[in-house]
Amino acid sequence: MSESTLRIGLVLPDVMGTYGDGGNALILRQRARMRGIDAEIVSITLDDEVPESLDVYTLGGAEDYAQRLATRHLLRHPGLQRAAEAGRPVLAICAAIQVLGHWYETAAGERVSGISMLDLTTSPQDARAIGELVTAPLIEGLTRPLSGFENHRGATTLGPAARPLGRVRNGVGNGAGDRVEGAVQGSVVSTYMHGPVLARNPELADFLLAKATGAELTPLDLPQVDRLRKERLAAAR
């Protein structure tokens, strides 16, 4: 591995990889390589400590028991927290939002402490949110609608230190009644969107890559990605 290699942390794919969200790391690697940036994925499992020195991190979705395992591991090995404090970008998907919050409640009503990287809490909704989700981004640097597939039962309430990633156009989103989706706090970007979300939202992928590299990225001309976006946005109408 050279000094200039972009290192992409795939965090706990053995327990936080239920919905194929590991694909987000693949998208980051491929979009970097297409620009001539050497990039590699560093897989961090329950057998590994979490390094704080990687350039960008991704976490995926999981079920209740796997969330508990992930929470315990991240508390025992707080490299992710230190990386975020140092400004390295973190992408957290679905259950990872809840793990990174202050606490979440299981379907049985048990409250489980999170790692408090995000100022939010999550309780169960009455009904599961399943289907296409489209939002209008609410953070600087993103201008195009975000789309993904939501499949969760969480009602996530943001505290004052967190702000929403987007305003819901189609779908449920955070489910707390305010028609917003995801959470952004410091260098952490979180969303309930599967897809993988970065395959469906190249602008978000490049937003994270730019933060990770500190460079202005040249645009990529990928008509097949544009076709995928149009198809998925049309499916949500």
Q: Could you write out the DSSP letters of every residue in 71-105?
A: HHHHHHSTHHHHHHHTT--EEEETHHHHHHSSEEE
Q: Has 153 been labeled as part of a binding site?
A: no
73 is catalytic: no
The pair of structure tokens assigned to 205 is: 């992928």
CA distance linking residue 73 with residue 4, whole number of Å: 29
61: number of CA atoms within 13 Å, CB side?
19
193: number of CA atoms within 13 Å, CB side?
32
152 is catalytic: no
Q: Which of 73, 94, 102, 152 is catalytic?
A: 94
Q: Are 112 and 122 in contact (CB under 8 A)?
A: no
Q: Which residues are catalytic?
A: 94, 194
Per the annotation, where are the binding residues?
A: 128
Per the annotation, where are the binding residues for substrate?
A: 128
